[in-house]
């Protein structure tokens, strides 16, 4: 199935967005993905309210093979082949799939929590005093002058010169 075929197929349903996905396309309307067009066929979103309709038509859920097992995705069911020739009934099935996808999206949304701003405070890092004997980060000239003033040797073991 190519993009143009899918646009024609869903013309009676209304405007759809078709995006590349896996080995085919994802089909959505108003931001809700409700169908998959894959090499193995066209699959519509289903839930407990619409699965019986697919079963009555002899459709099967979407399946794919991994190295270890066959995975069955019960939320997408194959569209009956007879619907490809009936755009009006296909659009009814597409609407039912779109509603099933919306119901699933509502179930997935996290419940909003009431936050108490008084109890949720952000941690503020404490400023710590520099360790004794550790110089603050500064240029080499400042460090050399400080070392010379204290009579310390440089890294090479020679006494530092005060460059004034």
Q: What is the pLDDT of residues 51-102, one digit of tens each?
A: 999 999 999 999 988 999 999 999 999 999 999 999 999 999 999 999 999 9
Centre a 10 Å sphere on the Cβ of residue 10 and count the other Cβ atoms it contains: 20
Angle among Cα 13, 11, 28 to the nearest 5 degrees reads 60
Please state, in angstroms and rounded to a whole number, the distance separating the CA atoms of residues 117 and 145.
Answer: 51
Question: 17 has which bridge partners?
Answer: 28
**Into how many domains does the chain fold?**
1
Query: Is pLDDT above 80 for 158?
Result: no
Question: Does some domain include residue 150?
Answer: no
Segment holding 21, helix H or strand E: strand 17-21
Centre a 10 Å sphere on the Cβ of residue 100 and count the other Cβ atoms it contains: 23
Question: Does some domain include residue 151?
Answer: no
Helix (H, G, I), strand (E, B) or coil at 13: coil
In this prediction, residue 107 carries a pLDDT of 80
Question: 71 has which bridge partners?
Answer: 64
In this prediction, residue 33 carries a pLDDT of 93
Give residue-wise pLDDT tens across range 101-142: 999 988 876 666 665 555 555 666 666 666 666 665 655 555
Question: 18 has which bridge partners?
Answer: 27
Question: Does some domain include residue 92?
Answer: yes
Tell me which residue range forms the domain holding 102: 3-108
CATH of the domain at 85: 3.30.1460.30
Using an 8 Å Cβ cutoff, are 23 and 39 in contact? yes
Question: Does some domain include residue 147?
Answer: no
């Amino acid at each position: 199935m190519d993009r143009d075929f899918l646009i024609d197929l869903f013309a009676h349903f209304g405007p759809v967005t078709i995006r590349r996905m896996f080995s085919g396309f994802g089909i959505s309307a108003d931001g809700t993905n409700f169908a998959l067009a894959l090499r193995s066929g066209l699959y519509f979103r289903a839930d407990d309210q619409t699965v019986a309709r697919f079963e009555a038509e002899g459709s099967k859920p979407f399946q794919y093979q991994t190295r270890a097992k066959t995975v069955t995705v019960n939320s997408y069911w194959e569209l009956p082949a007879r619907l490809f020739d009936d755009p009006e009934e296909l659009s009814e099935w597409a609407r039912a799939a779109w509603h099933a996808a919306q119901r699933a999206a509502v179930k997935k949304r996290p419940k909003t929590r009431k936050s108490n701003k008084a109890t949720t405070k952000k941690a503020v890092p404490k400023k710590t005093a520099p360790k004794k004997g550790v110089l603050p980060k500064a240029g080499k000239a400042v460090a050399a002058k400080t070392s010379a003033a204290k009579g310390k040797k440089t890294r090479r073991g020679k006494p530092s010169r005060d460059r004034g």
